[in-house]
């Protein structure tokens, strides 16, 4: 219904359409039309309402299209096959399915909106229409299964470097892979892998970037924990440029990883980290641990220096 309403307004190219006409065409009440107009505004449409004349479309939310994206891509291996969707449950699910069907490494799935975006630790991921980059990429790395967490850190490095370069914002990595501006999260990374008999078959790299979200997209209780690039910088960003910038950076760091292993990626991660050398509390599956993170192990685990002086690797935890 909303899509139909948007299409009707778009057809009129900035001319007014009366509420009555819209309710007749859509076969709903005028109150319902008004409610859908409000929803469209929440999705980024700018609509002028006049009691006498009805509604007119002033501006539509920007859209990622192949025409906007493909000319910006500089990568050789990644993003050479791009699938764009308007609305999906989760780009991770589409990527999983395509990977099972044999889609090549670097296949990229993008959606304007996710209805059930997934986060880490079983959380949901807010993915409103036209405001962010919600994407999943298929990788087929030839690495031993236990090294998979290294790819999470690698993704954080690539994303952090790309976003710093494209936005000029002071962005840091909170272990393992959250990107923060002044302590507030701007993106999330979710890696899901599929293995068979201890062999990695494919990895789906899920990346969510809160690009052009406004305050009203978040609930009140989220606002002290999260922020969008737009809110942080005060300007709107071109999402296609961000996708292309991320892919370019990812390809460079991934190639470095393939050629030289994890060591150079670890150095890059440590240089961008905002979690090292500060006392912290970690919630692990085994309980709470306190200490000072001092670096990364070869495996990608966080090295935590405990009060008694011992340093232990932590593989999976939530950093408080």
Binding-site members for biotin are 114, 118-120, 185
3-state helix, strand, coil in the chain (%, to 5): 35, 30, 35
Question: Whose Cβ is closer to ligand BTN: residue 4's or residue 194's?
Answer: 194
Shortest distance, position 139 Cβ to ligand BTN, whole Å: 14
Question: Footprint of ligand BTN on this chain (CB under 6 A)?
Answer: 90-92, 114, 117-120, 123, 125, 127, 134-136, 178, 188-190, 206-208
Question: Whose Cβ is closer to ligand BTN: residue 17's or residue 96's?
Answer: 96
Per the CB < 8 A criterion, the answer to whether 20 and 30 are in contact is yes
Q: Which of 125, 148, 146, 155 is nearest to 226 (CA)?
A: 125
Question: Whose Cβ is closer to ligand BTN: residue 208's or residue 291's?
Answer: 208
Grouping H, G, I as helix, E, B as strand and the rest as coil, residue 296 is: strand
Shortest distance, position 111 Cβ to ligand BTN, whole Å: 8
What DSSP state is assigned to residue 205?
E
Shortest distance, position 109 Cβ to ligand BTN, whole Å: 9
Shortest distance, position 156 Cβ to ligand BTN, whole Å: 10
Query: How many residues are listed for the chain in this entry?
Result: 320
Question: Whose Cβ is closer to ligand BTN: residue 154's or residue 207's?
Answer: 207
Point out the annotated binding site.
Answer: 114, 118-120, 185
Question: Whose Cβ is closer to ligand BTN: residue 118's or residue 239's?
Answer: 118
Place of tokens 């490494």: 105
Per the CB < 8 A criterion, the answer to whether 207 and 135 are in contact is yes
Shortest distance, position 185 Cβ to ligand BTN, whole Å: 7
Distance of alpha carbon 244 from alpha carbon 256, whole angstroms: 19
Alpha-helical regions (H) of the chain: 2-11, 19-26, 30-42, 66-69, 91-100, 148-167, 229-233, 239-260, 263-272
Distance of alpha carbon 184 from alpha carbon 168, whole angstroms: 16
Shortest distance, position 319 Cβ to ligand BTN, whole Å: 12
Question: Whose Cβ is closer to ligand BTN: residue 85's or residue 147's?
Answer: 85
Chain centre distance of CA 61: 18
Shortest distance, position 207 Cβ to ligand BTN, whole Å: 6
Per the CB < 8 A criterion, the answer to whether 230 and 261 are in contact is no
> Is the backbone peptide bond immediately before 72 cis, with ω within 30 degrees of 0?
no
Chain centre distance of CA 62: 17
Residue nearest to ligand BTN (CB): 188
Question: Whose Cβ is closer to ligand BTN: residue 6's or residue 314's?
Answer: 314
């Amino acid at each position: 219904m909303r899509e139909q309403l948007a299409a009707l307004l778009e057809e009129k190219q900035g001319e007014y359409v009366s509420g009555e006409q819209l309710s007749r065409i859509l076969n709903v009440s005028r109150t319902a039309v008004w409610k859908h107009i409000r929803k469209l505004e929440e999705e980024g449409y700018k609509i002028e309402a006049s009691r006498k004349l009805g509604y007119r479309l002033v501006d539509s939310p920007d859209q990622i299209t192949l025409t906007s994206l493909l000319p910006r891509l500089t990568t050789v291996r990644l993003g050479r096959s791009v699938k764009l969707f308007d609305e999906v449950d989760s780009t991770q699910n589409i990527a999983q399915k395509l990977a099972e069907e044999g889609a090549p490494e670097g296949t990229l799935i993008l959606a304007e909106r996710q209805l059930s975006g997934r986060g880490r630790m079983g959380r949901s991921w807010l993915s409103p229409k036209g405001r962010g980059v919600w994407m999943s990429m298929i990788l087929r790395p030839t690495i031993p299964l236990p090294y998979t967490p290294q790819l999470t850190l690698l993704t954080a490095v690539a994303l952090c470097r790309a976003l710093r370069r494209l936005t000029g914002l002071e962005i840091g990595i909170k272990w393992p892979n959250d990107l923060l501006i002044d302590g507030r999260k701007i993106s999330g990374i979710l890696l899901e892998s599929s293995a068979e008999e201890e062999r990695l078959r494919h990895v789906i790299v899920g990346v969510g970037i809160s690009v052009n979200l406004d305050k009203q997209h978040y609930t009140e209780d989220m606002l002290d924990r999260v922020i969008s690039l737009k809110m942080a910088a005060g300007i709107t960003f071109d999402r296609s440029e961000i996708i292309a910038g991320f892919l370019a950076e990812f390809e460079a760091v991934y190639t470095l990883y393939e050629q030289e292993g994890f060591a150079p990626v670890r150095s890059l991660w440590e240089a961008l980290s905002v979690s090292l050398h500060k006392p912290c509390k970690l919630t692990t599956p085994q309980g709470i641990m306190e200490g000072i993170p001092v670096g990364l192990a070869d495996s990608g685990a966080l090295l935590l220096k405990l009060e008694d002086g011992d340093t232990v690797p932590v593989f999976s935890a939530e950093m408080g």
